[in-house]
């Protein structure tokens, strides 16, 4: 901590506190997440080690950057990029009662898809994708970064992550059934987020049992298709398929006709998208 000045407390999470700090030598603002480690609790140490490992393996403009980590007196310090323009949750809250233009939604969505594609391509599942864990940054607040991998887990070959820790509003049906997480569980959450960016309200609200009942009853709210277009609605629907196999992966999402042009605008290298993915909405 000798290298940093603490500026303020940003908040307390499940595993520790988050401070806004600055590097002494160049005044660069960074975030330090402190996690107290119970050295006798193997699970806790693993969660912490996991967060570090996950962050270390990721490097993408739409992902919060990991800088450093160190242990001191049973506390793990994780130094990461500071996102100065708040979260997508805040952005939606302060924009109400207005709604976002379709191009804005698509731009935000594409950035999330690009970040998520990077995560999934590294065999990582986020497991708690929600508007509170998507950060805004950049001078105009128009750069999206996925953050908070505190409870994500590197996917092992046997896809072993079972525990329900994610926020219940975005939780996929297979997780409610006690099945293991996989990358398609993040796609479910992404569908909820896309709906929320169009409707400015959550797809599934209330307690875990309310959410589970709504999902089981097939209750789905629809967006204003006159304003956002039928394709946007179809995109939400395919991400909210009960069977994870029926949900598109991030690569498929990137080839959709609504998404593809927005990726161009973002200046993405489209050469990496295989042309073999021809996605057809009528299949679902």
User: Residue 128 catalytic?
Assistant: yes
Q: Which of 2, 90, 128, 182 is catalytic?
A: 128
Q: Which three-class secondary structure state does DSSP give residue 8? A: strand
Rounded CA-CA distance 30/72 in Å is 19
Flag whether 179 is marked binding: no
Nearest to 50 by CA among 186, 149, 164: 149
- ∠ CA 183-34-63 to the nearest 5 degrees? 35
**In whole angstroms, how far apart are CA 60 and each of 12, 64, 81, 107, 145?**
26, 8, 12, 17, 9
Report, in Å, the least distance between residue 156 CB and Mg ion.
23
Q: Mapped to the 3 state alphabet, what secondary structure does 205-262 carry?
A: CCCHHHHHHHHHCCCCCCCCHHHHCHHHHHHHHHHCCCCHHHCCCHHHHHHCCCHHHH
Choose one: 8-16, 41-49, 191-199, 216-224; the region binding ligand ATP (CB under 6 A): 8-16
Of Mg ion, ligand ATP, none, which one does residue 11 interact with (CB within 5 to 8 Å by kind)?
ligand ATP
Q: Which stretch binds ligand ATP (CB under 6 A): 102-110, 142-150, 217-225, 254-262?
A: 142-150
- Please tell me whether residue 173 binds ligand ATP under the rule CB under 6 A: no
User: For residue 73, which phi and psi values (nearest 5 degrees)?
Assistant: 45, 50
DSSP lists the bridge partners of residue 152 as: none
**What Rg value do the Cα atoms of the chain yield, rounded?**
19
CB 83 → Mg ion: shortest distance, Å?
12
Instruction: Rule CB under 5 A: choose which of 19, 64, 136, 148 binds Mg ion.
Output: 148
If contact means CB under 5 to 8 A according to the sort of partner, which of ligand ATP, Mg ion, none does residue 48 touch?
none
**Residues of span 72-111 touching ligand ATP by CB under 6 A:** 80-83, 87
Nearer Cβ to ligand ATP, position 145 or 247?
Answer: 145
Size of the site for ligand ATP (CB under 6 A): 18
Annotated binding site for ATP: 33
Give the catalytic positions in this structure. 128
Annotated binding site: 33
Interaction site with Mg ion (CB under 5 A): 13, 148
Interaction site with ligand ATP (CB under 6 A): 10-11, 13-15, 18, 31, 64, 80-83, 87, 132, 135, 147-148, 150
């Amino acid at each position: 901590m000798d290298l940093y000045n603490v500026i303020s407390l940003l908040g307390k999470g499940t595993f520790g506190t988050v401070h806004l700090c600055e590097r002494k030598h160049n005044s660069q603002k960074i975030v330090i997440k402190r996690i107290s480690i119970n050295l006798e609790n193997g699970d806790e140490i693993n969660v912490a080690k996991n967060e570090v490992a996950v962050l270390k393996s990721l490097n993408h403009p739409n992902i919060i950057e990991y800088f450093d980590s160190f242990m001191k007196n049973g506390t793990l310090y994780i130094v990461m990029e500071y996102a100065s323009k708040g979260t997508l949750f805040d952005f939606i809250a302060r924009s109400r009662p207005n709604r976002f233009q379709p191009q804005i939604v698509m731009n935000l969505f594409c950035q999330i898809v690009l970040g998520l594609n990077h995560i999934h391509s590294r065999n990582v599942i986020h497991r708690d994708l929600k508007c509170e864990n998507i950060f805004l940054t950049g001078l105009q607040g128009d750069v999206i970064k996925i953050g908070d991998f505190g409870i994500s887990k590197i996917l092992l070959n046997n896809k072993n992550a079972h525990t329900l820790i994610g926020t219940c509003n975005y939780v996929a049906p297979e997780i409610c059934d006690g099945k293991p997480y996989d990358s398609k569980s993040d796609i479910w959450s992404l569908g909820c987020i896309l709906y929320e960016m169009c409707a400015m309200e959550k797809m599934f609200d209330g307690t875990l049992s309310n959410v589970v009942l709504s999902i089981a009853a097939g209750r789905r709210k629809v967006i204003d298709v006159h304003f956002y277009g039928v394709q946007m609605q179809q995109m939400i629907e395919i991400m909210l398929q009960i069977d994870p196999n029926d949900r598109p992966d991030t690569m498929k999402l990137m080839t959709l006709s609504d998404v593809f042009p927005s990726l161009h605008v973002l200046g993405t290298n489209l050469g990496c998208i295989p042309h073999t993915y021809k996605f057809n909405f009528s299949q679902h």
